Amino acid sequence: MDKYLENGKQIFEEYCATAENQPTKLPTMLPRAPEQTYVDKYPEEGQPGPSFRDDERQQANYETEVKVYRALEKVDGNFIVLHSFKYTHHQFRTCVGKSHIRKECSKCKNAGDQDGECDFLIICADSFIVIEVKNMDNIYGECTTDKLKEMIGTYKKSIEQRNKVVKLIRCIDQDANILQFTAYPNFSNRFKSQFQLSDDELSTIIFEEDVSTFNAWWAENVTQAISSIRRASEETVSSREIPISGYNQDSHEKARNILLAIWATERDTCHKSKCSLGQCIVDVNKQLKEGRITFEPKKGKKRSRNPGVVTAPDVISRYVGVLNLTTQQNDVFNSNENLLWINGPAGAGKTVILCGKIIQLIQSDNNNKVVVFKFTGEGNNSQHYQDALKKARIEYKLISTSDNEHTPAQLADLITESLCSVILVEITGRPESHIFNR
């Protein structure tokens, strides 16, 4: 338990703490997602075979979760969103402590089993929100008995999943304030009157219309509920000399830190890097190269190629090691413009495209000479260029400099004198503008 508390505190302080003077407060999304997204698009027409149907269903479920993720990250507020929260029975037992009787628990025989999960666990300043996302196609016309039965079934399943996570939270903080919801981002609320659910149950459902106007829904269903809880606690505390345990801030912080650590822990190790944008980009790139996101058709599966993805040009796949490009990346690579400005977030593929273009220019004409200027620092990818050039057997020269070492004229001389086809100029730090005016 102490290890979870320590790891969770470190995660909160490094990735979640918001500066008090920040003008606008937005949610901390964990994991953080790159702005560039890569999503498989399966063909709309049905394909034979259970394997394809499973893939298609998993893809639809993933895209449904993405809708809620994108809605949550735009909400005005300072809270933490944990996407895909899971815990094992071993972790549950750790939170319960001595009150858990192992010899009477059948699950303790295999404590590594997954015991609970939810799509989104949201940690607010004094409360928790559990959201389970379900994918159901919208109804066009009459709500049939089968569709109604499916809806009720998925809702009951979501309650089971939500309650498991709630039980875990209460094991840590027995008086925690918890709100629960089930989201149907693809399902309209115009059929809700036909569901055999109480008003209280219907109030926990997030429909398609709610997701499209999520800030308004959040203000009405979350902000107001939390404010009511807060007012009630203040009234209760003011009438007592000793505050009640349910509103003990230390207890809430303890739960927050433990939940953060559980989310970042795989097996017995807490991977704090899971919270970082850099790690998210590394994971995306790995999946891209393995064809798990932008894929090539797999053997035995009759699928159409993703229309937003093309096979990478030979010079990129052979020397850079990236097998597929998005159509936007491919268009940039094949551009014939004399001057092209490429701008994009980390992980958008700028280095991949530039590596391929450099090698293409040298291989097309041995008299071509390419100079690449790079600023060193966090995330410096100079090694990517060097690895690609070595694979292509292109000689290059690496020049490391700073604003104190060389004037622009001296750098020009070094570049001109070199017999190498490619010159990589690494500039230490961020040079001041005056060095270009000497």
**Amino acid at residue number 424:** L
* Residues 39, 85 within the same domain: yes
> What pLDDT sits at residue 285?
61
* Residues 352, 261 within the same domain: no
- Total count of domains within the chain: 2
The phi and psi torsions of 410 (rounded to 5 degrees) equal: -65, -40
* Residues 247, 112 within the same domain: yes
User: In terms of pLDDT, which residue wins out, 222 or 148?
Assistant: 222
* Residues 23, 98 within the same domain: yes
Pairing of strands 178-183, 205-206: parallel
In a domain, residue 295? The reply is no
Q: For the segment 254-302, what is each residue's pLDDT rounded down to a tens digit?
A: 999 999 999 998 877 888 888 876 677 666 666 555 554 444 444 444 4
* Residues 339, 256 within the same domain: no
In a domain, residue 283? The reply is no
H-only helix segments in 307-349: 314-319, 327-333
Sequence-distant (≥ 6) Cβ neighbours of residue 163 within 8 angstroms: 180
SS3 for 11-76 is HHHHHHCCCCCCCCCCCEEECCCCCCCCCCCCCCCCCCCHHHHHHHHHHHHHHHHHHHHHHHCCCC
The DSSP line for 381-433 is -HHHHHHHHHHTT--EEEEEE-TTT--HHHHHHHHHH---SEEEEEEPS---G
The phi and psi torsions of 131 (rounded to 5 degrees) equal: -125, 125
In a domain, residue 39? The reply is yes
* Residues 316, 253 within the same domain: no
Domain boundary among 221, 249, 270: 270
Between CA 216 and CA 75 the distance in angstroms is 9
Summarize the confidence of residues 41-67 as an average pLDDT.
62
Q: Which domain holds residue 364?
A: 308-437
Residues of the chain by 3-state class (helix, strand, coil), percent to 5 = 50, 15, 35
**Amino acid at residue number 160:** E
> What pLDDT sits at residue 186?
86
Domain boundary among 215, 245, 270: 270
* Residues 66, 181 within the same domain: yes
CB 218 within 8 A of CB 81: no
In a domain, residue 119? The reply is yes
pLDDT bucket at 306, cuts 50 / 70 / 90: low
Between CA 211 and CA 226 the distance in angstroms is 20
Of 223-237, 307-321, 350-364, least confident by mean pLDDT is 223-237
Q: For the segment 103-135, what is each residue's pLDDT rounded down to a tens digit?
A: 777 777 665 566 899 999 999 988 999 999 998
Calculate what percentage of the chain has a pLDDT beyond 70: 73
* Residues 224, 79 within the same domain: yes
The answer to whether residue 184 scores a pLDDT higher than 80 is yes
The answer to whether residue 204 scores a pLDDT higher than 70 is yes
CB 387 within 8 A of CB 359: no
> What pLDDT sits at residue 97?
75
In a domain, residue 181? The reply is yes
